[in-house]
């Protein structure tokens, strides 16, 4: 399998991270970001959570700060769109995306998967592609009881140490989610091991993405 590289150690890479809810980015791409920073890539991250209020907002900001502690720069935004009602708030969310486009021009965008079973996730993905038409977009996956995992086509091998850091941060920061049956170490380990098997990751684990459009030069 041919390995591609978005940036080399020491190089700058600007990344826009988009999540509908306060733990989405961490679950879908947290280890990928940690790996990039460990490799010495100078990440400049704009981290946006669209639905966060009260305890969820505090969790989002605290978690993002920890995940991005090794970034060259980090800007964290937490919005207050109503959880579970993103399609019904389409006009307002689209307007927010248009203002975001005026403020950021990233090298890479991380967003939800187009076929995610959660309506909020699908709406974020749809508006990402609708708004950012000339960017490299990778769609991450979120495991859930709906059973909507697909066949990704891009993998980020991760080390066992980085995976453990990701899981520890998730468990420690998101107390509001620990009562959910799927939100545990076994779920995150199991998915990472499966994706690591699929790409023959050297240390057995990986995060996976859907790369619908890539341009090679």
Is 0.85 topped by the overall pTM? yes
Per-residue pLDDT tens over the stretch 163-211: 999 999 999 999 989 888 999 999 999 999 999 999 999 999 999 999 9
Please indicate, yes or no, if residue 5 is contained in any of the structural domains: no
Q: How confident is the model at residue 2 (pLDDT cuts 50, 70, 90)?
A: confident
Q: CATH number of the domain that 80 lies in?
A: 3.40.50.10320
Please indicate, yes or no, if residue 173 is contained in any of the structural domains: yes
Please indicate, yes or no, if residue 6 is contained in any of the structural domains: no
Please indicate, yes or no, if residue 2 is contained in any of the structural domains: no
Helix (H, G, I), strand (E, B) or coil at 30: helix
Structure tokens at 187: 């779920």
Per-residue pLDDT tens over the stretch 7-53: 999 999 999 999 999 999 999 999 999 999 999 999 999 999 999 98
> Angle formed by the axes of helices 185-198 and 160-173, to 10°?
150
Please indicate, yes or no, if residue 26 is contained in any of the structural domains: yes
Distance (Å, rounded) from C-alpha 70 to C-alpha 209? 23
Distance (Å, rounded) from C-alpha 165 to C-alpha 110? 20
Please indicate, yes or no, if residue 203 is contained in any of the structural domains: yes
Q: What is the pLDDT of residue 14?
A: 98
Residue 117's domain comprises 12-210
Per-residue pLDDT tens over the stretch 146-158: 999 999 999 999 9
């Amino acid at each position: 399998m041919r390995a591609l590289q978005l940036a080399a150690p020491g190089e700058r890479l600007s990344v826009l991270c988009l999540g509908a809810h306060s733990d989405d980015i961490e679950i879908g791409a947290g280890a990928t970001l940690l790996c990039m920073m460990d490799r010495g890539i100078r990440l400049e991250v704009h981290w946006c959570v669209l639905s966060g209020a009260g305890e969820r907002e505090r969790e989002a900001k605290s978690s993002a700060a920890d995940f991005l502690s090794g970034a060259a720069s980090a800007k964290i935004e937490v919005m207050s769109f109503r959880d579970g009602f993103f399609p019904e708030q389409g006009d307002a969310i689209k307007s927010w995306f248009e203002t975001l486009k005026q403020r950021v021009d990233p090298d890479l965008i991380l967003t939800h998967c187009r076929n995610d079973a959660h309506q909020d996730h699908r709406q974020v993905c749809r508006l990402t592609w609708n708004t950012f038409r000339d960017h490299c977009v990778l769609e991450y996956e979120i495991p859930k009881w709906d059973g909507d995992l697909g066949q990704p086509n891009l993998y980020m091998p991760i080390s066992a140490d980085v995976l453990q850091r990701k899981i520890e941060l998730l468990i420690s920061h998101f107390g509001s989610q620990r009562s959910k049956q799927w939100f545990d170490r076994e779920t995150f380990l199991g998915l990472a091991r499966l994706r690591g098997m699929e790409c023959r990751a050297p240390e057995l684990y990986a995060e996976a993405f859907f790369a619908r459009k890539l341009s090679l030069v």
